[in-house]
Amino acid sequence: MFESRAIGRYLETLGSGPELIPTEADPKARAKFEQAASIEYAQFSPILGDLIVEKIVKQARGQARDEGRIKELSAQLEAKLDVFDTILSRQKYLAGAVSYSPTEVPYIDADGPSALQRITLADLYMISSGELVFDHLGLGKLENRSHVQRQVMS
């Protein structure tokens, strides 16, 4: 098996760790997870992948970087990070409220206890990408996005 998202989903089904994908018994929570995972996969990762090619791969191959393309991709990335920051300003995790077992504790925000929330694979994929964006590529202006910063640095 290959491809990190497929491997992550497979490992989650083995049941040896925390539940990282809501079960089908809670269709609303499952849909929220799929929405968050889709946004990360279809809208964030392609931009990041193209930036990696322009800023890292081309340099490693001795090819000229396309600075115009880097500028364009950086602007797209900034826009996506703004969306993530807005989402994370309203909820602790990308998928928001998802089902929990009765023994788990709800997320407490400034307004008091909120809907039960927990980390999912969508968050883990974003967190792993965040290291590339902020540490290695020097993009994202993390200091301007406190909610993304909380997510990536936690």
Per-residue pLDDT of the chain (154 residues; tens, 9 = 90+): 888 889 988 988 887 777 888 888 878 888 989 999 999 899 989 998 999 899 889 999 999 999 999 999 999 988 988 998 899 888 888 887 665 454 455 445 544 444 456 788 888 888 877 777 777 777 766 677 888 878 777 6
Side-chain-side CA neighbours of residue 47 (13 Å): 24
- pLDDT at site 97: 62
In terms of Cα–Cα distance, which of 122, 153, 103, 110 is closest to 42?
Answer: 122
Q: Is the pTM of this model over 0.85?
A: no
Whether 52 contacts 65, CB under 8 Å: no
